A = this chain, B = another copy of it.
Amino acid sequence: MKTILPLIFLSFLLLAVALPGLPGGATNAAPARPAEADSLSQTAARIIGEATASGGAYEKLEWLTDRIGPRLSGSPQAEAAVAWAVREMRRDGLANVHTEKVMVPHWIRGAEVASIVAPAAQRLAVTALGMSDPTPASGVTAEVVEVASFDDLHALGEKARGRIVFYNKPITAHTDGSGYGSAAGLRYRGAAEAAKQGAVAMLIRSLGTIDARLVHTGTHAYEEGVPRIPAAAIAAEDAELLHRLGAKGESVKVHLTLGCKTLPDVESANVIGELRGRTLPGEVVVIGGHLDSWDLGTGALDDGAGVTVSMEALRILKKLNLRPRRTIRAVLFMNEENGNRGGKAYFETHRGEMEKHVAAIESDAGAGHPMGFSVKSGAGGEAILRSLAGKLARIGATNLEAGGEGGVDISPMLAAGVPLLGLRQDMTEYFNWHHTAGDTLDKVNPRDLADNAAALAFMAYALADLEVPLPRIPPEERESPDR
């Protein structure tokens, strides 16, 4: 990838010079024309040109991942990311740059060791699920019982008692990332469900689409009144090994030690910066991603990409003097991964202004090439958005997908009917790296990241500049922010 990128970039520059109507250095150097004089297609072209020429999102992402690194809520790095984001937004000349307090969980990973002890001794590649309680210091040893679904688990009845329940459900790679959904529920509720049947621990096959002995963490939730059993993910290879051994009909025993623990909540923050609206500055389009990340990699894809394209989108619009009617507000949320405290705090803090929130767009699906947007809005919204996304044909980000809630961080705004969009990337490779040690900067194609910044900047601009805002989600489709 690294060797061909300069060629791709060069080709783009040559194209930009050769083809009329495409943006080039000269366009950027010319005096900014007022937005009104631009057709939306021209605006899109200028935005795409600036995003590519500056490479600003990648530069930010390099700093965030190389200099700050993993940013789990409550960690010093998460706080360093907050301070950095404030500095960067001020340096970019954004308006109203500030932080808003969020109390976050403070979970820390400790030693984690797992091995098969019978019928053969084998080390397992393992990682605790986020928010798991520890095992006793001496670990837990028990027979493993394999299931592929909650139906399987329930059918076991008493046979899960005293056992380690092992969820073994491979996921598959899709452009739209849809394979993840087939097992994410098992990870999120698997420990609680297993505990209800007397299990002493739960293991789950990593939710990933590459078999490279990589372990994928991710959050899970205990239930009130149900024993809090330790929960961990093992590598695909180790899941296959457990499966093969179990399929022989012998008793398979595993020893698991987890040293993770949950400390008292700590104060952290969402980071906010704005491009103030030209005529209706009190009305707001929110764009954003989440500043926190899992601790195994450096959170380049999840969600350094979303954070930096959101910051870059405002920088581009400001640089090009593209000020829409309404304010565009970048919100860099804290604690998406293990609590969504930032998303909920933003909603609570701004509850009284929700009627003035005309749309929200989240980018939290990596840094693959932008394909388009998901959308949940009132009747007629899709047609408007389809027409707007059509202006992004040059970078192929024209797809409109109905449904979803845009992203975890903005989903609380569903309660207020705010139209919710998600910037949708090609996710074919996303679940190779998501929540693993492999989520690092080298997985990001700088050109794709620039295109994402452009797609987000353009859509935010277009929505903020509509004469009549998008139709809101009707009351019957709204849901409580605390679901």
Contact = CB atoms under 8 A, between A and B. Distances in A.
Interface in A306-337: none
Interface string A83-124: 000000000000000000000000000000000000111110
A440 B241 contact: yes
A210 interface: yes
A297 B123 CA distance: 9
A22 interface: no
A213 to B, nearest CB: 4
B69 A120 contact: yes
A66 B125 CA distance: 14
A212 interface: yes
A437 B241 contact: no
B437 A66 contact: no
Given A125-B437, A298-B122, A66 B213 contact: no
A67 B244 CA distance: 11
A72 to B, nearest CB: 13
A442 B122 contact: no
A443 B68 CA distance: 35
Contacts of A68: 120
A148 interface: no
A335 to B, nearest CB: 21
A123 B295 CA distance: 10
A122 B63 CA distance: 12
Contacts of A62: 244
Q: Count identical subunits in the complex.
A: 2
A127 B365 CA distance: 32
A438 interface: yes
Which of A66, A236, A245, A436 has the largest count of B CB atoms less than 10 A from its CB?
A66
Contacts of A125: 437
A211 interface: yes
Contacts of A298: 122
A213 B120 contact: no
A353 interface: no
A237 interface: yes
Given A120-B67, A438-B237, A214 B212 contact: yes
A211, A240, A244, A436 — most chain B CB neighbours (10 Å)? A211
A210 B212 contact: yes
Interface string A47-62: 0000000000000001
Interface string A441-452: 111000000000
B213 A436 contact: yes
> In which size bucket is the chain A interface?
20 to 34
Contact of A240 (B69, B236, B297, B442): B442
Contact of A245 (B66, B213, B237, B241): B66
B67 A438 contact: no
A432 B211 CA distance: 11
Contacts of A437: 125, 213, 235
B67 A119 contact: yes
Interface in A4-32: none
B212 A122 contact: no
Interface in A367-404: none
Interface in A419-469: 432, 436-438, 440-443
A64 to B, nearest CB: 11
Contact of A237 (B123, B211, B440): B440
A70 B69 CA distance: 33
Given A120-B66, A120-B69, A125-B437, A442 B212 contact: no
A66 B440 contact: no
Contacts of A69: 120-123
A244 B67 CA distance: 11
A111 to B, nearest CB: 11
B213 A438 contact: yes
Given A122-B298, A244-B62, A298-B122, A211 B67 contact: no
A241 B212 CA distance: 20
A443 B235 CA distance: 14
Contact of A212 (B120, B212, B244): B212
5 closest Cβ pairs, A-B complex: A212-B212, A213-B437, A213-B438, A67-B120, A237-B440
12 contacts: A62-B244, A67-B120, A69-B121, A69-B123, A122-B298, A125-B437, A211-B438, A212-B212, A212-B438, A213-B437, A235-B437, A241-B441
Interface of A: 62, 66-70, 119-123, 125, 210-214, 235-237, 240-241, 244-245, 297-298, 432, 436-438, 440-443
